[in-house]
Amino acid sequence: MKFLTDFGDQAVVLPMAAAIAIALLLLGWWRGAIGWALAVSGTLGVVLSLKIIFYACQSDLPDFGIRSPSGHTASATVVYGALLALLGQNGVPGAARHLLLIAAAAVLLALVFGFSRVDLGVHTIPDVLMGGAVGILGALMFTLLAGPRPAGFRRWILGVVVVVVALVFHGRELNAEEAIQRMAIVYWWPFISSCHRS
């Protein structure tokens, strides 16, 4: 499970997201690059905000069994789900069917990565359900924002980018969770200051 879950670590996801954005720009798909940047950064921003809120405000929130929404699950779901949309038949007739296929793939990704996090004992089922839901919405957001691929778009280049980044960065860990927890406890943001416990 560790091998699988490492594909969702920020040490892999962040360079992969950046490399794909650059590749999309170089390939001339500006709308795709903007959609990618908005979907991925939006997903990561939402998960970061939720983590800070749950760390700082845990005792003031209803007990849903959520300790910290799973960032690995959200990150892997949005990046690999949106990547499937990139490599699939985006923007062709039958786009509603394509959206359903991406939704199904994103749900499957969320389940697989979520299970790996629960199996490793680092997250609860509610943690991964929340992370997965955010990631699924991010993948769908990309699919809607990207629009049709430009004519002559070379998908194989994206495949090469993904494989190279995965080979170079897989197995590395960013250990972002500890930094987020420290930030939430020590330096609370104004919008959650009422929840801070000193």
pLDDT tens digits, 7-31: 888 899 999 999 999 999 999 899 9
pLDDT higher than threshold 80 for residue 188: no
pLDDT at residue 51, as a whole number: 86
pLDDT at residue 60, as a whole number: 61
Highest mean pLDDT of the ranges 157-161, 176-180, 183-187: 157-161
pLDDT higher than threshold 90 for residue 46: yes
pLDDT tens digits, 131-160: 999 999 999 999 889 877 888 888 888 889
> What pTM value is reported for the model?
0.86
Boundaries of every domain in the chain: 2-195
pLDDT tens digits, 64-123: 778 888 999 999 999 999 888 877 755 444 467 777 888 888 999 999 999 999 999 889
The percentage of residues in the chain with a pLDDT greater than 90, rounded to a whole number, is 45
- State the average pLDDT for the chain: 84
Q: Which helix (H) or strand (E) holds 45?
A: helix 30-57
Please give the span between the terminal C-alpha atoms of the chain, in angstroms, as a whole number: 37
